Every structure is written in structure tokens, then in C-alpha cells.
């Protein structure tokens, strides 16, 4: 066997692993996206309490569309998911509840967009708060006027308000501008040992590692989140 033939065979053998590696790199993001979409159906109902309160079996449900981003319920920070604009259901304990949220609209920019510039206009409301008494096993939803243009969104957003509506179509409360100083903290069952173990070891500030990661993610900028995701999936 000649040296040239040996070289041709070796190069051919080396080429196939490279092709497989390229194929994995191409298919992995698609598989990851499929997994996230599949998981999203399993996590679309979020518990808003800690521990295992007895009234949880009769929890009410608050349905939030993708344009509504709930940030806090009864003083507890809600998870900021990797995918924006994800419609979620929030399980609420019967009784008094405080829900803090914002409303966000997205409008495509017209004309040429400079390199690195966002291709959309994002218009958000001021943080809103809705305090209402949830009935056992009841379902609530947000109701609000939707702007038909970016100009209209810019005009109405400073005075934005949403209603919490029950399954009977009756308004329970109208939201108002939220002030952290006026926020109430509704008592909830303390975090149990089993729950803490599931979330990680408690640190000196009483938070688990998972809770600290969630808190850091909530305060990160869009660019920091993109950089982290690129690092995580490399």
C-alpha cells in the first residue's frame, strides 16, 4: 500500500467524525428548543407560596397572558423564565393576595436598523399591583385594553391599568401603580426542610442556591443573559 493511499484513508476517517460533530452542533439547539417547549407545558402553573399549606389543595388560578409579566406575588419574587412572552398560570392560596406585574408590548421598527440596534420597540407599563381576595378553586384572568399601534401604546401606557376578572366575568379589582413602600406581605407557611433540600443548601441569608440564581437572573440585563446562555450552551 502506497503512502499516498494511506494518507487518503486517514483523511477520510478523520473527516467523518468532523461531520458528525458539525451535525451535533446543528441539531443540538433544535433538540434543546424542543425540550424547552415540552417542559414549558409542565411548568405553566406556578405555585406562589413556600412550604406545604393545607389550603393549597383548594388553590385558585390566575391566568396571565404572555404580555403580562408577573414579578411578585405576596412579596415573593416569581421566576423569570428563559423564554419571554410565555403565558403562565399562577396558583394562589385562598384569601388575600397581592400580585405585582407589568404589561409589555412589542412593535417592529420600520426602515433600516443600524448594526447592533434592536429591531423592535418595547413599550412597558409602570409596575402595577392588584390586591384581591381569591376564592377556593376559582379561576381569574387579566383584562385590559390592547393598543392597536405603537403610537397608541405610547399614549396609553402611562395610565395603563388592568382588571382582575373572575370566571363569572365580574371584575374583582382594578390595578394601580405599585410602590414598594406600600407593598404588603401576606403570611405564608415557612419553607420546609424538604423544600430547602430540593432547592439546595441554605446560605447565611436564608436563600437556597437555586433561589439566589433566580434572583441574579431577574436583575441581569438582556446582554448579560445572552452572554450567559452562549456560555452555557457552548
How far apart (Å, rounded) are the C-alpha atoms in residues 23 and 157?
46
Closest by alpha carbon to 106, among 120, 125, 89? Answer: 120
Cell for 71?
Answer: 414579578
Mean pLDDT by 10 residues, the chain (234 residues): 50 51 52 46 73 91 95 87 76 96 89 71 94 97 94 94 97 94 57 42 54 71 76 68
Q: How far apart are the first and last CA of the chain?
A: 41
Q: Are 130 and 90 in contact (CB under 8 A)?
A: no
DSSP H or E run through 143: strand 139-143
- pLDDT computed for residue 117 by the predictor: 72
Cell for 98?
Answer: 397581592
DSSP H or E run through 9: helix 3-40
Cell for 85?
Answer: 412572552
**Which residues have a Cβ under 8 Å from the Cβ of 65 and sit 6 or more positions away?**
87, 142
How far apart (Å, rounded) are the C-alpha atoms in residues 118 and 59?
40
- pLDDT computed for residue 190 by the predictor: 40
> DSSP states of 85-127 as a string?
S--EEEEE-SEEEEEEEEEEEEEEPPS---TTS-SEEEEEPPP
- pLDDT computed for residue 58 by the predictor: 94
- pLDDT computed for residue 39 by the predictor: 43
- pLDDT computed for residue 120 by the predictor: 81
Residue ranges covered by each domain of the chain: 45-184, 191-234
- pLDDT computed for residue 213 by the predictor: 74
Write down the pTM of the prediction.
0.61
Cell for 52?
Answer: 406545604
**Which residues have a Cβ under 8 Å from the Cβ of 97 and sit 6 or more positions away?**
48, 73, 74, 131, 132, 133, 134, 186
SS3 per residue for 154-179: HHHHHHCCCEEEECCCCEEEECEECC
Q: Are 123 and 154 in contact (CB under 8 A)?
A: yes
Amino acid at each position: 500500500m502506497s503512502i499516498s493511499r494511506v494518507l487518503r484513508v486517514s483523511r477520510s476517517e478523520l473527516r467523518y467524525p468532523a461531520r458528525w460533530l458539525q451535525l451535533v452542533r446543528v441539531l443540538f439547539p433544535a433538540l434543546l428548543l424542543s425540550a424547552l417547549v415540552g417542559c414549558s407545558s409542565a411548568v405553566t402553573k406556578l405555585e406562589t407560596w413556600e412550604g406545604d399549606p393545607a389550603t393549597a389543595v383548594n388553590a385558585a388560578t390566575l391566568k396571565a397572558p404572555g404580555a403580562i409579566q408577573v414579578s411578585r406575588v405576596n412579596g415573593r419574587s416569581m421566576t423569570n423564565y428563559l423564554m419571554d412572552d410565555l403565558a403562565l398560570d399562577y396558583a394562589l392560596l385562598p384569601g388575600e393576595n397581592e400580585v405585582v406585574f407589568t404589561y409589555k408590548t412589542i412593535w417592529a421598527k420600520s426602515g433600516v436598523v443600524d448594526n447592533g440596534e434592536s429591531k423592535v420597540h418595547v413599550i412597558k407599563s409602570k409596575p402595577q399591583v392588584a390586591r384581591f381576595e381569591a376564592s377556593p378553586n376559582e379561576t381569574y384572568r387579566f383584562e385590559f385594553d390592547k393598543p392597536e399601534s405603537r403610537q397608541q401604546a405610547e399614549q396609553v401606557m402611562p395610565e395603563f391599568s388592568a382588571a382582575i376578572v373572575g370566571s363569572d366575568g365580574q371584575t374583582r379589582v382594578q390595578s394601580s401603580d405599585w410602590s414598594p413602600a406600600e407593598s404588603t406581605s401576606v403570611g405564608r407557611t415557612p419553607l420546609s426542610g424538604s423544600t430547602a433540600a430540593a432547592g439546595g443548601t441554605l446560605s447565611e441569608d436564608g436563600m437556597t442556591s437555586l433561589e439566589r440564581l433566580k434572583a441574579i437572573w431577574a436583575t441581569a440585563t438582556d446582554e448579560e443573559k445572552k452572554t450567559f446562555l452562549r456560555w452555557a450552551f457552548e
